[in-house]
Structure 1
Amino acid sequence: MNSVLVISAVSDAAGVIRSALHSDFNIKHANDKEEALDILKKKRYDIIFIDIVFFSKHFSDKTLKEGIRPFKALYPTIEIVVIAPQEMIREAVKAVKAGASDYLTYPVIAEEVKLVTKAIRDAALMASELEYLRNQQWKDEALEIVSTKNPRMQEVFRKIRAVAPTKTTVLLIGETGVGKGVLAKLIHQHSNRESAQFISVHCGAIPDSLVESELFGHEKGAFTGAVRKKMGKFEIALDGTIFMDEIGTVTSAVQIKLLQVLQDGLFSRVGGESVIKSGARVIAATNSDLKEMSDNGSFRKDLYYRLNVFPIEIPTLRERAEDIPWFAEHFLKKMNLMNQKGIYGIHPLVTEALKKYSWPGNIRELENLIERAYILESSSILTPDVFPDELFDPDISTGLPVNASLPLAEARRQVIEDFERQYLKEVLSRNMGRINKSSEEAGISTRQLHKLMLKYGIRKEEYKRLLPPN
């Protein structure tokens, strides 16, 4: 932290700051905001001292945030110190609340410059030391994954670090797209099983009739089509880790066998009599309320208690908005590595819009949106033109009614159900009731599609009538 940019029209302000900091800092002076931004586009400075008059003529919280935004958009961690006349101390305090690090008053006093600079440097040093100590607990390849400014996500990573070295069963709870699979791999990589197999099973994507065979294997002749013996995922995993996503979709028969594996580490292949010992650790994930399912009888209570030994709730992307700019930059870097197109920035208006969007598809939706924008963009930064209009206009609605008199969880559930119902009807209508084609377009298994159709009382026959006569 050795470079300072002073933005002030007061002739002696830069001189006082230069004399206060001596040769420890490289100090540059700009006469106005535009000149300063041009300088910053060429080189990063650690601390900016800026006259408050360059922010706005109207010093509301909103305008001060907008004044600070161009600097933070270029360098999110840059430290801003506002300089204000004595009569504008209240506005200077507002600027600190809006994102500035501290403030000084005119006339600028060398001793105050030293104190403010030292406080900023000490805080940065302490943050770096804490980050270093925290990162010492993670392997190098995991450092990017565990980057977060969100307190809830920091707690998630703390729990993962604590449980990873143990044999304890972990239940990851969160909406689709929050990264449950990534976190499961993180647990495996920081366990004493890291050199063993990590087997991932998407339970919801496997037909009911094949789930048991997929997990536990089968003997030759166990059922029609079983022409040879097959090893299941638990047998293949050996002493590694088996990650079971959408655990709430498995059948009652599979639930019984899972309970035995979790209790005793034992199972048998379908159609087999010999008992096989499993040393695999189970990490399960769900986007459903397993507690509610166990209460209404659709999921075994004893299995729920076995899975719920160490639950970790993962916040949605909309609940960790402070991490969205980092994710967007991460996905942009990823696209550049894959395509060498040379897009190296994101327009500030896009960043703000991304932070305000509700993200029903979570991190996966953000990644897809960045990829689409990257393909369409022809300039060196991602501009608003290559993103959907609804990202910038919150008044553009999905057309689904929201009952604000309900509790948030209930209102959200109702909107999701209305959306799913409408979505399924449109997909089935477009494909004239063809189940295979509809499930393929929806990105779900035919079994999942059938379950959703049953849930919402949708019959494929209603859409088959749309087929033209032979």
Structure 2
Amino acid sequence: MRKMLVITRDGSRSEEIGGLLGKDKRLGTGTGAVAANEAPDREVDTLFVDVESLLGRHTSVAKGLEGLWAQYPSAAIVVLADEATTHHAVDAVKAGAFDYLTHPIEKEELDLIVDKVRETDVLKSELDYLRGQFWNEDSLEYVDTRSKAMRDVFVKIRQVAGTRTTVLLTGETGTGKSLIAKLIHAHSNRKSQPFISVHCGAIPDTLVESELFGHEKGAFTGAVRRKLGKFELAHGGTIFLDEIGTVSQSVQVKLLNVIQERFIQRVGGESDIPVDVRIIAATNEDMLELCERGKFRRDLFYRLNVFPIRIPPLRERIEDIPRLSEVFIQQFNGLLNTEVKGIHPQVLDRLLEYEWPGNVRELENVIERACILETGEVLMPESFPPDLLDNQGEVVTSPVRTSLPLKEARRITVDKFERQYLSSLLEQCGGVIKDAARRAGVTTRQLSKLLGRHGLDKMDFRKKNL
């Protein structure tokens, strides 16, 4: 159960907040300024404090916040203010307070604040854990995810990375299997040794054996000198066999022998060459179906499928689309010398609705194209391909996502509706908050909170209508 504390000069206001929060929260109350000599309380995760108590004997809200953080170092501070003292609350937020509420406080606004604090705590805890316990600094950008499916993937990576166990990555084209293979290698005890990637489907059948195992001089026409194969080059490290389902039966036999005996023979050679490699294979095909059709050896499949990891398609992790888009924008800003700062809210709505048959790779390509075409600081609809939008700029409809639990599907649907509603409303009102709030039947404060929750900026809509 979470622990919250309310500090006000008016005890009735503390009772008011307690009533709005309900009985499922541990709630403490206090009056007046915080005592400076009390022992720090690290259990309080949310602190509600009115402006008068925040200022107390201090000359500024910044000083008041410092005192509170010394007393409650783990707390997110929410400032309570009347209309006349709102400017102090705004100053507090600028100085580091989590947010502020104005009286009279509405339950919807209070619940929104509490939910935001909880979400922020969860994300911060996950990132702190990842940063301190396992992932290297270069990987944090990739493992920062809001998707449960991807968190499960990263848990499996942590479990298997430190072993020499063979891993089979499965998933649709473009889901990032190559990146996952590199993450496994980068967090293994072989990370200082070679990582050799082989795209089996891109090598002609007649050359696959030579590429993997090497060949001796004169082994076949054109073999003018000895060549080391990928397995030899990967000795001591990791070899990544992408599209493993495409290799021929003869290569399958040799791969099985390598896994079992840990040595290879070059094409045209007779000597056994020992190799110490960790194998990671990947496929976008149904390997069991290939086995049923006689296209792939069952004994090899079982050897490769020791530790399977399924990479979910992008349509099953749409929560990550905004973050991935930001990552790609920053990446292409450096490569293309552009200064894009974000995506127009309407475009982001389309990205969330699109089915992404090409997965993360397709999203990356779409963002790259948009960064090249865009002349401003925000990626606008005109910079995106027409298959994302119809002629009227409406969302391309998608089927109900029955692959998600009902609660998650409902949350995503409600979020999309709210974002679309608010985007259309702001566009019609030219970004004027007062007009938009009146039409929506909510206060300007409530509307501002909703805009912040969905990452919408009124200035984007004002610019469009100038």
> Would the TM-score normalized by the shorter structure come out above 0.5?
yes
Task: Indicate the TM-score class for this superposition, using the shorter chain for normalisation.
Answer: 0.5 to 0.7
The structure 2 residue matched to 1:160, chosen from 143, 157, 173, is 157
Question: What is the CA–CA distance in structure 2 between the aligned matches of 1:247 and 1:313, rounded to whole Å?
Answer: 15
Q: How does 1:203-282 map to 2 (within 5 A)?
A: 203-282=200-279
Please say if residues 329 and 371 of structure 2, whose CA atoms lie closer than 8 Å, have aligned partners that are also in contact. yes
| Structure 2 equivalent of residue 66 of structure 1 | none
Question: What is the CA–CA distance in structure 1 between the aligned matches of 2:173 and 2:389, rounded to whole Å?
Answer: 24
SS in 1 for 2:168: strand
How far off its partner does 1:347 sit?
Answer: 1.2
Question: What is the CA–CA distance in structure 2 between the aligned matches of 1:201 and 1:383, rounded to whole Å?
Answer: 38
Question: What is the CA–CA distance in structure 2 between the aligned matches of 1:163 and 1:352, rounded to whole Å?
Answer: 37
| Structure 2 equivalent of residue 320 of structure 1 | 317
Note if 1:132 corresponds to 2:128. yes
Question: What is the CA–CA distance in structure 1 between the aligned matches of 2:210 and 2:317, rounded to whole Å?
Answer: 39
Task: Quickly say closer, same or farther: Cα 1:274–1:128, change in 2 above 3 A.
Answer: same
Question: What is the CA–CA distance in structure 1 between the aligned matches of 2:249 and 2:101, rounded to whole Å?
Answer: 66
Note if 1:18 corresponds to 2:51. yes
Question: What is the CA–CA distance in structure 2 between the aligned matches of 1:16 and 1:214, rounded to whole Å?
Answer: 68
SS in 1 for 2:317: helix
SS in 2 for 1:143: helix
| Structure 1 equivalent of residue 304 of structure 2 | 307
Note if 1:293 corresponds to 2:326. no
Letter in 1 for 2:179: V
SS in 1 for 2:236: coil
SS in 2 for 1:261: helix
Please say if residues 239 and 279 of structure 1, whose CA atoms lie closer than 8 Å, have aligned partners that are also in contact. yes
Question: What is the CA–CA distance in structure 1 between the aligned matches of 2:248 and 2:183, rounded to whole Å?
Answer: 28
| Structure 2 equivalent of residue 3 of structure 1 | none
Task: Quickly say closer, same or farther: Cα 1:43–1:30, change in 2 above 3 A.
Answer: farther
Question: What is the CA–CA distance in structure 1 between the aligned matches of 2:49 and 2:121, rounded to whole Å?
Answer: 25
| Structure 1 equivalent of residue 383 of structure 2 | 386
Please say if residues 49 and 83 of structure 1, whose CA atoms lie closer than 8 Å, have aligned partners that are also in contact. no
SS in 2 for 1:244: strand
Question: What is the CA–CA distance in structure 1 between the aligned matches of 2:53 and 2:347, rounded to whole Å?
Answer: 39
Question: What is the CA–CA distance in structure 2 between the aligned matches of 1:223 and 1:384, rounded to whole Å?
Answer: 55
Letter in 2 for 1:189: A
Letter in 2 for 1:305: Y
| Structure 2 equivalent of residue 332 of structure 1 | 329
How far off its partner does 1:326 sit?
Answer: 0.5
Q: Percent identity?
A: 50
SS in 2 for 1:283: strand
How far off its partner does 1:18 sit?
Answer: 2.1
Task: Quickly say closer, same or farther: Cα 1:363–1:153, change in 2 above 3 A.
Answer: same
How far off its partner does 1:153 sit?
Answer: 0.4
Gaps of 5+ in 1: 1-12, 53-81, 104-119, 409-470
Please say if residues 390 and 396 of structure 1, whose CA atoms lie closer than 8 Å, have aligned partners that are also in contact. no
How far off its partner does 1:135 sit?
Answer: 2.3
- Normalising by structure 2, we get a TM-score of 0.64
Gaps of 5+ in 2: 1-15, 17-47, 56-63, 66-76, 404-466
Letter in 1 for 2:215: H
How far off its partner does 1:331 sit?
Answer: 0.5
Of residues 17-26 and 268-277 in structure 1, the stretch that sits farther from structure 2 once superposed is 17-26
CA deviation vs aligned residue, 1:121-169 (integer Å, no higher than 9, x gap): 5774465334312322111111111111101100100111110110000
Q: Size of the alignment, in residue pairs?
A: 328
Please say if residues 373 and 386 of structure 1, whose CA atoms lie closer than 8 Å, have aligned partners that are also in contact. yes
- Normalising by structure 1, we get a TM-score of 0.63
Letter in 1 for 2:129: L
Question: What is the CA–CA distance in structure 2 between the aligned matches of 1:354 and 1:155, rounded to whole Å?
Answer: 24
Task: Quickly say closer, same or farther: Cα 1:381–1:30, change in 2 above 3 A.
Answer: farther
How far off its partner does 1:207 sit?
Answer: 0.3
Letter in 2 for 1:19: E
Letter in 1 for 2:322: P
